[in-house]
Structure 1
Amino acid sequence: MRNRRKMIKALLLFLKDVHEKSGKSYYFLLNDFVHLKKTKKISIEEYTNFEFENQGREFRDTFMSEMEQRPCLDLLNPKKYYTIARNKYFSHLFLEAKSIRKSELYCYYHPEGRLKNDHVAYDYESVVEVLKSKEVHSCVIKTTESSHGDGVIVVNKIKYINEKCILYLFNGRVLELKDILKEYEPLIFESVISQTEQFKKFNSSSVNTVRFMTTLYPTGNAKIIAIWMKFGRPGACVDNAGAGGNIDAAVDIETGKIYNVTQFNGWGKTKPITHHPDSGVLLEGIFIENWEDIKRDVLRFQESLPYLKAIGWDIAITPEGPLVVEMNDYWDRTGQLFIRKGWKKEIQDCYEQWKKLEKEGKVSYKMGRSYE
């Protein structure tokens, strides 16, 4: 009974908030939400965040809710393989084995280990030994299992002074390596990414990434099903869209044209723009250079990793070509807001093809992820 009262209270608050924001009647909002909850398993949070009261038919029909996404990714990206994407050290190893372009891994630090080699370390002395041996004077430090740009430290310069390793960060802070290693968690040290001149102009302080959504089919062929971009803001070293405060845009799959440029300051706080609000660089209508080569490489990336059959790739565009910043096996749904349509049909089509093989006994996913 108590839980039921909480649910009713949450629903009433939701209706009140959306009514005040949109001016739509309570009757419309209640019926609309109940319909979408029944047909698409839309949550209150999704209805509010994606402003469904203002969305047209195409967005509504193609949007993929979290509850629709879960069973599909349970099968396409089984639990036994998800750590390939979620642990950044494991990602490095798999990408290296598949000759997929990525940052150079300088050092993997794990405080619980006791063995070391040319890139593995377990204490301050062994980390410094690895960095010195590779003559590392700048790097990016990441926690191994964080996401959305959390736990990222960009080091512009490293000085080895006597017994100290001094880190000069991109934001002007100065730290000793010992201060970072006091946090009892694994870290990776990797090379700084150098973007193309086109991408540097968008925002020079961050790596401005392209999110490619790809699927792999039983034929062994991959498909790009959606693309959107994240542009950083001055002073930020990451371009994450999750919490707002950055610029996002859709990218046309066929041509690489940037469109639907949006200033995203958080859910319900978006506005269309044409130029980057800080640099003044034109974004709307710009074509990403060398687009066909970039697409070809990203498709090869997906075809090289059959363990995960639906991946959200965060890709940096470098002079040498696309470079994997991060893989996502269970991605958020924010990109549908910027593309202004969803990827439900594409994900479910891939799911159905693999599900058919499972029913025929040709593949097994008994170790799939459980969210219960």
Structure 2
Amino acid sequence: MKILYFFYQFKVTDFGKLQAFISYVAKVMNKSKVAVITDMLKAFWKHNISFSDYFYLEFYNRPEVERSNHASTLLMYKFQSRLNSKESIAFFRNKKAFYKKFDKFIKHNYFITDDKNVEDFKIWLIENNPNALMAKQSNGQAGSGLEKFEVTRSNKDDFLVGGKDLNTFYSYALNKKYDLIDTFIEQHPLLQEISPNALSTLRIVSIVDKSNPVKILKPLVRMSNDSFVDNFHQGGIAMAIDPETGNILAPVFFKDPRKSKTETQHPVTGKTLIGFKIPHWELVMPMIEQAALVVPEVRTVGWDVLITKDGPSLLEGNDNWDKTLYEKTHQEGLKPVITSIK
């Protein structure tokens, strides 16, 4: 298994980025590149830590006792495979299925193109009159298969979507396999003021445990940097949240280890993040506790939650949630938690 996992690392690793990280760490740690590579391989062999996570989680700065607490990609795969039914994860791998199953927790309007035509879409536009749309591939992952379109209305029944008439846009959407169209969601005004380029989303992980019906791990919030998505893997930022108060904790984290680790303000707006209280926080955890039991055969989910002026709303559920985002933001390993779940 170890050898197969080693060769898997060669398959999935971006070696151009890896080389840049090696050079950076060699410089800041005053070590040779050979020494950095040797330590990276040692961490892989002893802790199953991927080549990339060695840098993202800054193993080069961590003592052995901290390294041993981190969950490897292999451990997470085994954990999520053990807890989550292969048949039931379909509700989380496809956004259409997710929207239908968790409709009571979704506050925005959406249109599913299945068995629908352009006239159905037009009626939906008239009913909702959105200023913008997000077109998605329902099986898209990690911010892929996603596009934003401005909507203008020339008169009562005529729309332009992304500058295209309805027939042209609808054909374009179908060709791009955009089978799910959301009204552009307006996040809470306080969050919009801080990070206006994209929705800010909470990531909250739930585990249905035999000894405790719903265990919720420490929450975090993701915000965009200068993109229209908040994705941590595409340059966004992430901060831990105090689960009791809903206040953002220091510092601001980028996934890239070369970025600053002392920032307390949003990189674009300059607004202070540390100490900011997530609006409607008192409603978030109860919603997650309910949602976690809708599909109990999927015992662990990483929920993406957005905050509107009216309260929290589910955006997505991830059965194969990312442990690197959690460990980086909270600066602690997940292995003790993962191995304690029965």
TM-score, reference length from structure 2: 0.82
Partner deviation per Cα, 1:53-109 (whole Å, 9 max, x = no partner): 01346642332111110011111122212221121100001102xx3234222x211
- The answer to whether the 8 A contact 1:260-1:338 is kept is no
Quote the residue 2:337 is aligned against.
346
Name which of 82, 105, 111 aligns with 1:75: 82
Distance 2:190 2:21 in 1: 44
SS at match of 1:334: helix
User: Aligned-pair distance for 1:184?
Assistant: 4.6
Structure 2: how far apart are the matches of 1:189 and 1:182? 11
Tell me if the contact between 2:109 and 2:182 (Cα under 8 Å) persists in the aligned partners. Answer: yes
* In 2, Cα distance between equivalents of 1:40 and 1:204: 40
CA apart distance, 1:13: 6.5
SS of match in other structure, 1:303: coil
SS in 2 for 1:39: helix
1:213 to 197, 205, 209: 205
- Other-structure match for 2:141: 147
**Equivalent residue for 1:201?**
193
Relative distance call for 1:27 and 1:159 in structure 2 (3 A) is closer
Contact 1:211/1:228 (8 A) holds in 2: yes
Distance of 1:266 and 1:13 partners within structure 2: 13
Assess if the C-alpha contact under 8 Å between 2:201 and 2:306 holds in 1: yes
How far apart are 1:282 and its partner, in Å? 0.9
User: Which residues in structure 2 correspond to 1:1-372 (within 5 Å)?
Assistant: 17=23, 18-24=25-31, 29=36, 32-56=39-63, 59-96=66-103, 99-105=104-110, 107-110=111-114, 116=115, 121=116, 123-132=117-126, 134-138=127-131, 139-159=133-153, 165-168=159-162, 174-177=163-166, 178-179=168-169, 180-181=172-173, 183-218=175-210, 221-233=213-225, 236-244=227-235, 246-262=236-252, 264=254, 266-332=256-322, 333-350=324-341, 353=342
Question: SS in structure 2 opposite 1:322?
Answer: strand
- TM-score, normalization by structure 1: 0.76
3-state SS of the aligned residue for 1:249? strand
> 1-side partners of 2:181 and 2:21: how far apart?
47
Q: Which runs of 5+ in 2 are unaligned?
A: 1-5
Note if contact 2:130-2:183 (Cα within 8 Å) is conserved in structure 1: no
Higher alpha-carbon Rg: 1
Equivalent residue, structure 2, for 1:366: none
SS of residue matched to 2:269 = coil
Instruction: Flag structure 1 segments of 5+ consecutive residues without an equivalent.
Output: 111-115, 169-173, 354-372
Q: What per-residue deviation string (whole Å, max 9, x for no partner) do you get for residues 314-358 of structure 1? A: 1111233211111111122223112111322223322xx1xxxxx
Alignment partner, residue 361 of structure 1: none
One-letter amino acid of the counterpart of residue 327, structure 2: Q
Identity %: 22
2-structure distance, mates of 1:58, 1:209: 32
Paired letter, 2:273: L
Between the two proteins, the alignment pairs up a number of residues equal to 324
Kindly indicate whether the alpha-carbon contact (under 8 Å) linking 1:213 and 1:313 is maintained by their aligned counterparts in 2.
Answer: yes
The answer on whether the counterparts of 1:89 and 1:108 sit within 8 Å (CA) in structure 2 is yes
Residue deviations 1:92-142 (CA, integer Å, cap 9, x gap): 01102xx3234222x2114xxxxx4xxxx1x4444334434x343333321
Please report how far the alpha carbon of residue 162 of structure 1 lies from its aligned counterpart in structure 2 after TM superposition. 10
214-223 or 16-25, which deviates more: 16-25
Contact between 2:56 and 2:328, CA under 8 Å: does it hold in 1? no
1:217 and 1:292 map into 2 onto residues whose CA distance is 23
Structure 1 pair 15/348, CA: closer, same or farther in 2 (3 Å)? same
In the TM superposition, what is the alpha-carbon distance from 1:25 to its structure 2 partner? 5.4
CA contact (8 A) 1:228 1:250 kept: yes
Point out the more displaced range, 339-348 or 23-32: 23-32
Q: Specify whether residues 270 and 64 from structure 1 end up closer, same or farther in structure 2 by C-alpha distance, changes over 3 A only.
A: farther
AA partner of residue 151 (structure 2): K
